[in-house]
Amino acid sequence: MGKPSDLVQGTLDLLILKTLLLEPLHGWAIAKRIQQLSREVLQVQQGSLYPALHRLEHQGWIKARWAESETGRQAKFYALTTAGRSQLEKETANWNRLSTAINLVVGEA
């Protein structure tokens, strides 16, 4: 496990929303899922994960429900709301625009 890469500022929200698009997950699973999908490149720290989750919940993009987890313990599961879905689309489009632009610049050099 190498040194965890810093997440590009502001992309954590996008990653969380994207991860929740398939199914509701709890915080631990969200962190793990992001780690797996990025092939261990992106390590989400608890210190940023939970504030982000709570912020998204207060914004109304995601909603939370307590349910039994795979270990049999009660865990807080987060799910995407309708508003969150359209927010995800918006942020994805934004990200695509931004990464294309950056690629253009970097590829040019």
Partner 1 sequence: MRLVARTRMAFLSLFRRGSASMHLDDELQYHLERQIDENISAGMSAEHARQAALRQFGNPALLRDEALSTWTGVWLDSLFRDIRHVTRALVHAPGFTSIAVFIIALGIGANVALFTLVHRVLLNPLPYPEPDKLVSIYEHEPAQSSEHGYMPIDAGSFYEWQRASQGVADMALVSPFQGYSVSAEGGKLPEKIEAGMCSWNFFSVLGVNPALGRTFGPSDDSPSSEATVILSNAFWQRRYAGEPSVLGRRIWLDAKPYTVIGIMPESFVYSGAFGGNTVQVWTPIAHEFPPALMTTFEDHEAIGIARLRPGITLQALVSRLQAVQKEIKTGHPGPAVHTSVIGRSMLDDAVQDYKTPLYALLAATGCVLLIASMNVASLLVARIASRRKELAIRVALGGGWLRIMRERILESLLLSVAGGAFGLLLAGAAIQWLVKTRHDMNRIEAIHIGAVEIGFVVLAVLATALFAGLISAFSSKIKDVLDGLQDSSRTLASSRARAGLRRTLLVLEVSLTVVLLVGSGLLLKSYQRLRSTDVGVPIDNVLTLHFGLPEARYKTPVQRIAFFESVLSQVRAMPGVQSAGLVSAAPGQGYGGDDLVTVVEHPTLPKGTGLDLQIRGADPGYFSAIHLPIIRGRVFTSDERLDRANVVIISQKAAEMCFPGEDPIGRHIKITVDGRVGEVIGIVGDTRWNITQPIMGQMYWPILGNDWVNVALIVRSSSNVSAFAMPIQKVIGSLDPDLPVSGVGTIRESIAKATIDSQFDSLLILAFAVIALVLAAAGLYGVLTYLVTQRTSEIGIRIALGARREQLLGTVLFDGLRPALIGLLLGLGASALAVRLIRSMLYQTEPFDPVVFASVAALLLLVATLACMIPAWRASHLDPIRALRTE
Contact set with partner 1 (CB under 8 A): 26-28, 45-47, 50-55, 57-60, 63, 66, 69, 71, 73-76, 81-83
Q: At what angle do helices 11-19 and 46-59 cross, to 10 degrees?
A: 80
Task: Supply the minimum distance, in Å, between the C-beta of residue 96 and partner 1.
Answer: 24
C-alpha 101/C-alpha 67 separation (Å) is 42
Q: Which is nearer to partner 1, 54 or 97 (CB)?
A: 54
Q: Which is nearer to partner 1, 39 or 58 (CB)?
A: 58
C-alpha 86/C-alpha 84 separation (Å) is 6
Helix (H, G, I), strand (E, B) or coil at 44: coil
Q: Which is nearer to partner 1, 1 or 109 (CB)?
A: 1
Task: Supply the minimum distance, in Å, between the C-beta of residue 28 and partner 1.
Answer: 4
Q: Is the dihedral of CA 3, 105, 48, 26 positive or negative?
A: negative
Phi-psi region of 72 (alpha: psi -120 to 50; beta: other; left: phi over 0): left
Task: Supply the minimum distance, in Å, between the C-beta of residue 99 and partner 1.
Answer: 26
Q: Which is nearer to partner 1, 69 or 92 (CB)?
A: 69
